[in-house]
Amino acid sequence: MNGSIRWFARNTVAANLLMICILIAGAYSLFTRIPLEVFPSIELERVNIRTSFPGAPPSEVEEGVTVRIEEAIQDIEGIEKMISNSSEGFSNIRIELENGYDPQLLKDEITTRVEGLNTLPDEVERPVIGIPAWQREVISVALAGPLGERELRDMALQIEEDIRALPEVTQAQVEGIRPYELAIEIQERTLREFGLALSEISNIIRRQSLDLSAGSIKTNGGEVLIRTKGQAYVKEDYADLVILSRTDGTRLRLGDIATIKDDFDETPIITKFNGQPALTVEVYRIGDQNAITVAAAVRKYIAEKSVLLPEGITLETWRDRSKTVSARLQTLTDSALQGGILVLLLLGLFLHPSVAFWVCIGIPVSFMGSALLMPELGVTLNTISLFAYILVLGIVVDDAIVTGENVYSHLRRGTSPQAAAEKGTVEVAVPVTFGVLTTMVAFVPLLMVEGVRGAIFSQIPMIVIPVLLFSLIESKWILPAHLSGIRLDHEGAILRHVSRAQRWFADGLETFIFQIYRPVLNLSLSERYLTVAIFFVGGALLIALIMSGWMRWIFFPRIQSEVARATLVMPAGTPFVTTSAYIDRMTDAALQLQDKYRDPGTGQSVVINILSNSGTTGGSSSGQSNRGRVFFEIEAPEKRKIDVTTNDLVSEWRKLIGPLPGAESLNFRAEFGRTSSPIDIQLSGGNFEELQAVADQLKTKLGTYPNVFDIEDSMSNGKEELQLRLMPAAETLGVRLDDLARRVREGFFGITVQRIQRGRDEVNVILRYPEQERATLASLQNMTIRTPGGAAVPFAEVASLEPGRTPAAITRIDRNRTMNVTADANKQQANLEAIKSDLETFLQETTRFYPAVKYSLEGEAREQRDSFNTLIFGLVGVLFAIYSLLAIPFRSYLQPLIVMTAIPFGAIGAVIGHWIMDLDLTIMSLMGMLALTGVVVNSSLVLVDYINRQQSEEGLSVQEAIKVAGVARFRPVLLTSLTTFAGLTPIIFDKSTQAQFLIPMAVSLGYGVLFATFTTLLIIPVNYLILNDFSRAWYWLIHGTEPPTLNVKAPVVASDNLLGASSIGDSDSHLEAKRRGNLEEEEIEKSLLSRSQMSQHTIISLGDNEPDLLNETTADNKPPAVSPLHAAALSKESLLGTEEGDTDEDKEELSPLSQPSISQSSMFVDLDAEPDEIDYEDTDKIVSVVEDNEPTDEEELSPLSQSTISQSTMFVDLDAEPDEEEYEAPQNILSMVEDETIDNEEELSPLSRSPMSQSMYFVDLDDEGDDPKTKNKETAEA
């Protein structure tokens, strides 16, 4: 890796070409290959079997179809679960696959088994087996007006064709229409009169109404086809069919004995839009089509078509999902842009503007790199993938920040840009690479979540991981090439102003580091066990608060939708007119809401449109007279002029509707992303009576809980039925049960004689009794049954009727009958976890009396259980992966544990963030915490790596290495965390509906990283030192001696060393810091003492790259300087640096007193080119200027000009004790420092009591714990 880094750093053309290729290829993929949709399209890993059994009740469908198909396929490998539903006329079996099985292969095997069945009833139609596709609705079009059903239907179908013909649209379909039906109705009396049966007439019609190919005749002139063409298509054709030919030559035609109706079938469906009869056309997105483009084309068509429609007919959009896509795209794009700007501003405040710019360039490069891979990964541009980009926005620059900051530090030490780019990148390459890898693996568990939610949220790691991968590439191969061109000493006018502002913030940060953070760090290290105890006790208290219910837990947040829905279910068999009347009542209530919440200024209502369906609740329940639903579309919350929430509207709607006598259930939904009920208990086993008994008791129990409502079970009573029984006389007459059943079915249900194709419509030809004869019990009792001998006997002589009731539907799971009891709840007020716990206790007691009945918690409880299992498994895997990735670079089994101690504090920060934002903890919160585990360790990894390098490369002791690392890595650690939080800030505070369900995950990640940062900067150093304590104790236990000390290159001095009191580090002198390359910020341009109001110019600067003899001598032949006086031994004629009269070639190394061009009595350094107003040769003037605080060129004041101390003294004796040595002689002072013979060495300082802090400029070499006084004016004056 190091070789490739250096190669790209030296070949900027190659790096730029790589960057351009990524940007162009990613942009091309983004705009041409990636579809735009609301939610990701999901490949449902299941197979559906739908079988039609016309006219059969649920129990007959179950026995005759469902059970037989289940038995045929139950042993096929790959089937995880079978869920079947037997309803009137239909059997639906849903087969869920085990992970890893190909749905198409399983479908083929199931098809083979099902088609091989020969035991299905003759009336059963061929089963339809398929893999369900995720519906991609984009926009609905509502056609409404005072038209008849036929006219409305024809117009809707024409609109469907027009829309489908648009270049941007592929699929459109009219919803809510009834199919055509040609009904042939013959009275029972007529059949008896002519001695006919419906089955005979059916066969006669089939024989006469047909088209049949009869081959061909090959003649010399060519081949001639032979066809029989007699298919009837309209009622006139059927009326002309001959039923009987009499001996007198007359004919009895079908029209003579039957009423033939060419109309719609009897399926009861009525759709209304804003109170007007209506039909809707649903428009879908197919393949790579763009949802916004499709919707725009449809809206344009509507605008053009509307002006051509007859008066009173309206054509409007209904549920334009593209607006949701656009709003989410805009919301998330704005959030991404705002987050990006915040990241750039933060980096610009604390890094050089050029460095900040090139670091931020990594964001578009990484994003476009991931866009390049999106089509190959099957990821589309949708709400989830856009959120993933925002989620990674602040994380993506972490590696670039660490790299850029390290390169910048080298630049400020005087290293050439090329060398700084190479060395700075290589130094942090290993920790940065492994840090990115830990973040990647933390997102992997999101790929393991099962179900629909898992398929949706798997999009997040599919975006985050490629982004981080390209970020790593950019920070290692592209960023160094860009940073190698930065010249800190060549800035334009604008950049100089920006840099000046940036330095102000940078200086403020350093002030914080040295005046606040470093003392706190030192205190924490000295009291390390107390520090750890405080942190962990605080964490334990917070966990206890969470467990006590201080923070609410909700599996999935209840997010207000922009569509509200009410679903009505009446008892089976309820007349359609009754259901329709209730639906109209619900619609009127919605219309009242529309009028009430209308803005008087604009006339726009919060309730935009209202759609109702009578006779359907969608899906397999379409065409059931006892069902209906009403929708109303609501304006987006952020656009509402009137302050009302969706939940408020639904509550008021519920009150306006009031009680509906006789209704089985009336449920309201206005939530986004809901896939199951908050409370769902599944009962299985036993017989129906036992299941119903337990269900009834359970519903009663649920009714006792406050804030629990919409309680129902899945076993509706169904329709009343009359069960036929043969009487003893039937056997005598030779009437069999199957003959009886078939005869009754023919008359009351009818016979499907033919299916004919008329244009685009398939029309069923049905033969049956007239409607009035099928509506009374007397008609059944008066019908005649034909005996095998041809005689007709009354029904009452051969059969009896027994009343009963059939269930509306029968559900089976894994071949066992089941019943579900469901309920909704107000999640904000109801304690669902307590309710579920109480229900478990209740069910345990209840099922003791019904041992055959089993129960399980389904719905959200099951999803929660499955999600927890997945997340726990994922957490264990992630923690092990992170540990492994940390152990590899550290080559240690224990140091990864130090780094990973940041993880629980990140989780604590996530919880605190939810409390600050007043959010409940949800499954999305946990997903965020899981992803957080890989992010929070990055800063700790870099910090521990730096501590290790300080010990191995610089020879520092453990404690000194920790102190140096804490100070040196404070800025990159802080910046990576702040940029992560800044990138997430816009979406955290977003109020739009589109962002609400994503906010908990963003809060967990943002606040978790922020909180973990500040704990990392303290707890990681403390834990490192504690681990060292234990290591030393273990060594002593094993070997009986203290472990050997490290070979420390630098002298260990007090933390308040004269030249170590800046960002250089606690134990560094200025010269030693330069030699090691540890100088921070502008220290190569500034002296130690210029950190207050002192000179901003050089006092002891080693900023060039020349081989300076003085520097080399000091570095190579002498121990590192403890104080400026230690270096004086190098020159007898000057305090620091070269002898008087030496050349200026090494001016950067000269002390203020050794400048050849300045008198030693001036104690001044004048390095600028400006004319100075003060006569620096006069010491008295300098002193007075300082005391009066009116220096014109105060930045040029030497540190020694801050008091009236004599040159010859250079020291102040502040205590009252008699000292053993004479301080007046500089030679004695030097020898005392070198020989360490002074008892009160802490009192030695050139300035000791200047206006600066006494603690900053002091040398404390002993351990006496002296407490210097704050000022000794008398000594100074003396």
In angstroms, rounded to a whole number, what is the distance separating the alpha carbons of residues 874 and 890? 24
> In this structure, how many other beta carbons lie within 10 angstroms of the beta carbon of residue 1135?
20
Write out the E strands in 65-157.
Answer: 79-87, 90-97, 128-130, 137-144
- pTM passes above 0.85: no
Residue where a domain stops, chosen among 1039, 1061, 1079: 1039
CB atoms within 10 A of CB 618: 12
User: Is residue 634 in a domain?
Assistant: no
CA dihedral 1174, 1176, 1178, 1182 (to 10 degrees): 70
SS (H, E, C) 710-775: EEEECCCCCCEEEEEEECHHHHHHCCCHHHHHHHHHHHHCCEEEEEEEECCEEEEEEEECCCCCCC
Q: Which of 1016, 1039, 1062 is the last residue of a domain?
A: 1039
* Contact (CB, 8 A) for 152 and 143: yes
Are the C-beta atoms of residues 582 and 570 closer than 8 Å to each other? yes
Domain harbouring 20, CATH code: 1.20.1640.10
147 touches 313 (CB < 8 A): yes
Co-location of 791 and 937 in the same domain: no
To the nearest 5 percent, what fractions of the chain are helix, strand and coil?
50, 15, 35
| SS3 at position 986 | helix
What digits encode the pLDDT tens for the residues 660-671?
A: 998 888 888 876
Note whether 120 and 102 are same-domain residues: yes
Residue 756 lies in a domain: yes
Segment 436-449, tens digit of pLDDT: 999 999 988 888 77
Which domain-ending residue is among 297, 319, 341? 319
Say which CATH number the domain at 191 has.
3.30.2090.10
348 and 287 housed in the same domain: no
How many domains is the chain partitioned into structurally? Answer: 5
| DSSP H stretches of helix in 1040-1056 | none
Using alpha carbons, select from 631, 558, 566 the residue that is nearest to residue 594.
Answer: 631
Write the CATH number for 174: 3.30.70.1320
Looking at the structure, do residues 1064 and 981 belong to the same domain, yes or no?
no
Q: Find the angle CA(695)-CA(698)-CA(702) to the nearest 5 degrees.
A: 135
Residue of 136, 144, 562 lying closest to 317 (CA atoms): 144
In this predicted structure, what is the pLDDT of residue 722? 80
Does residue 1026 sit in the same domain as residue 1121? Answer: no
Range of the domain at 159: 137-180+268-319
d(CA 942, CA 938): 6
pLDDT value at position 34?
87
Residue 240 has a pLDDT of 93
User: Tens digits of per-residue pLDDT, 833-885?
Assistant: 888 889 989 999 888 888 888 888 887 788 778 878 888 888 899 999 999 99
Q: What is the pLDDT of residue 234?
A: 92
DSSP 1073-1085: HHHHT---TTTTT
CA distance 1174 to 128: 101
The C-alpha atoms of residue 1064 and residue 1100 are separated, in whole angstroms, by 13
1203 in the same domain as 1074 = yes
Q: Which two tokens stand for residue 85?
A: 């539903």
Low-confidence ranges of the chain (pLDDT < 50): 619-621, 1046-1278
pLDDT at 1237: 38
Same domain (yes/no): 781, 914:
no
Over the range 1008-1017, which residues count as b (16 or more CB within 10 Å of their CB) and which as e? bbbbbbebbb
In a domain? residue 1057? yes
Q: Would you say residue 831 lies in a domain?
A: no
State how far the Cα of 465 lies from the Cα of 460, in Å rounded to an integer. 9
pLDDT attached to residue 1225:
39
Tell me the C-alpha distance between 815 and 48, whole Å: 16
CA 89 and chain centroid, separation: 42
pLDDT of residue 1055: 30
| Token pair belonging to 113 | 């088994």
User: Looking at residue 93, what is its pLDDT?
Assistant: 94
Mapping DSSP onto H, E and C, the string for 1176-1202 reads CCCHHHHHHHHHHCCCCCHHHCCHHHH
pLDDT on residue 619: 45
Residue at 707 is within a domain: no
Q: How many CB atoms lie within 10 A of CB 521?
A: 21
Spatial distance between the Cα atoms of 55 and 289, rounded to a whole number of angstroms? 41
821 located within any domain: no
Q: Are residues 170 and 284 in the same domain?
A: yes
What whole-number distance in Å separates Cα of residue 930 and Cα of residue 1008?
Answer: 11
> Cα(1277)–Cα(849) distance, rounded to whole angstroms?
101
Reading the block at residue 351, the tokens are 């890094």
Q: Is there a contact between 1002 and 917 (Cβ–Cβ < 8 Å)?
A: no
Contacts for 703-706: CB closer than 8 Å, 24+ residues apart? 705/825, 705/830, 705/835, 706/829, 706/830
Both 483 and 379 in one domain: the answer is: yes
Helix (H) or strand (E) segment spanning residue 856: strand 854-857
1081 and 1184 in a single domain? The answer is yes
pLDDT at residue 1021, rounded to an integer: 92
Whether the CB-CB separation of 790 and 725 falls below 8 Å is answered with no
Instruction: Judge if 230 and 122 occupy the same domain.
Output: no
In a domain, 680, yes or no: no
Give the integer Cα–Cα distance in Å for 1065 and 1069. Answer: 8
Is the residue at 681 inside a domain?
no
Check whether residue 1111 and residue 1249 sit in a common domain: yes
In CATH, what number is assigned to the domain containing residue 86?
3.30.70.1430
Residue 1119 phi/psi, 5-degree rounding, is: -65, 150
Handedness of CA 968, 970, 971, 977 (dihedral sign): positive
Q: Is residue 60 exposed (0-12), middle (13-18) or buried (19+ Cβ within 10 Å)?
A: middle
Per DSSP, what are the bridge partners of residue 143? Answer: 279, 315
Nearest to 287 by CA among 33, 104, 539, 639: 33
What is the chain's length? 1278
Give the pLDDT confidence score for residue 1075 in this predicted structure. Answer: 39
Query: Is the CB of residue 742 less than 8 Å from the CB of residue 728?
Result: no
